[in-house]
Structure 1
Amino acid sequence: MAKVYISDVIDAPIEKVWALARDYNGHGDWHPRIAESTIEDGLPPDQVGCVRNFTLTDGGHLRERLLSFSDLDHFFTYSIIVSPMPIENYVATFRCTSVTEREATFVEWWATFEVGADDEPEIRQAVGKETFAAGIRALAARLEKT
């Protein structure tokens, strides 16, 4: 089982970070890899069990199911149903924690998944650097504009 873990601090209060990040279908508004995204069957984007169906800027297509969601604890967990990557049993969590001393937010994004040894370095790069790290940086940049 492979694991990828990325974290960073965003210089904004948790209320602002979570208000933007909590929209499970809103990643298309701030993540540089997302071309378009919809929630299937018209369900709310914070309803456990909803499926987001999206296209990457490189044309890749994914479907992900929301497994758990908490406004109180500022996190959500999801699994990949369909992916162009050669992975299985992918489960990821996005979590925000308040850095109370300076009104900042500690953001963590991690995933576990099964991948063949030959594909693992490329998948770790795609998930860790190109998706999670790039997403956290883009989220911070978007918040700086507001």
Structure 2
Amino acid sequence: MAKVIRSTVLPAPIEVVWDVLRDFNGHDRWHPAVASSEIERGRDADRVGSIRRFKLTDGSELREQLLTLSDAETAYSYCLFDTPIPLFNYVSHLRLMPVTDSDHTFWEWEGRFDTPADQHDAMVRLVGTDIYEAGFGAIRTHLGLES
């Protein structure tokens, strides 16, 4: 099983960052890889069990399910159902923590998944760089923060 962990510190209060990231269906407004997103069956985006179906800018479609959501812990987790790439049993955890001496936010994004051995390095790079690190930069831009 592959494990990818990326983290960053954002120069913004945790409430500001959580307000954007908490929206399980809002990643099309800030992540550069996501073109559009919708929650299936008209459910609320913050309801555990909700499934988001989204299109990437390359036209491929994915489906992910919200597994947990905690405002108290400023965290959620989700799993990947359908994807055109070899990521199997993918589960991701996103967690924010306050950096109390500066009113900044620590953001950790972790994923675990299975993939064929010959795809391991490529999938780790894709998740770590193209999803997580690209997301960090995109949130900075979205919130108007310095890079």
TM-score category, normalised to shorter length = over 0.9
Counterpart residue type for residue 116 of structure 1: P
The two structures have a TM-score, normalised by structure 2, of 0.96
Q: Note the C-alpha offset of 1:126.
A: 1.0
The 5-angstrom pairing of residues 64-79 of structure 1 reads 64-79=64-79
The structural deviation recorded for 1:55 is: 0.5
Give the partner amino acid of 1:80. L
What SS does structure 2 have at the residue aligned with 1:144?
Answer: coil
Secondary structure in structure 2 of the residue aligned to 1:119: helix
For residues 23 and 49 of structure 2, the distance between their equivalents in structure 1, rounded to whole angstroms, comes to: 14
Distance 2:122 2:59 in 1: 18
CA distance in 1, matches of 2:113, 2:32: 23
User: Which amino acid in structure 1 is aligned with residue 75 of structure 2?
Assistant: F
Q: In 2, Cα distance between the equivalents of 1:35 and 1:126?
A: 17
The amino acid of 2:117's aligned partner reads A
- Cα distance in structure 2, aligned partners of 1:11 and 1:137: 12
Residue 141 of structure 1, CA deviation: 1.5
Q: Within the alignment, does 1:117 sit opposite 2:117 as a pair? A: yes
Q: Which residue of 2 aligns with 1:105?
A: 105
Does the residue aligned with 2:117 lie in a helix, a strand or coil? coil
Q: 1:77-96: CA deviations, max 9, x gaps?
A: 00000011112110001111
Unaligned 5+ runs, structure 1 = none
Pair 1:30-2:62 in alignment: no
User: Deviation string for 1:48-99 (max 9, x for gaps)?
Assistant: 0000000001112100000000111001100000011112110001111000
Unpaired runs of 5+ residues, structure 2, are: none
How far apart are residue 136 of structure 1 and its match? 1.3
Structure 1 position 96 matched with structure 2 position 96? yes
SS at match of 2:93: strand
Runs ≥4 residues deviating over 4 A: none
Q: Secondary structure at the match of 1:25?
A: coil
Question: What amino acid does structure 2 have at the position aligned with 1:125?
Answer: R
Amino acid at match of 1:111: G
Secondary structure at 2:126 match in 1: helix
The Cα of 1:11 is off from its aligned counterpart by: 0.5
**Could you tell me the TM-score, scaled by structure 1's length?**
0.97
Quote the Cα distance in structure 2 between the aligned partners of 1:89 and 1:6: 19
d(CA) in 2 for partners of 1:51 and 1:105? 27
Please name the residue that 2:141 is paired with. 141
CA distance in 2, matches of 1:140, 1:75: 19
Secondary structure in 2 matching 1:53 = strand
Tell me how far 1:105 sits from its aligned partner: 0.2
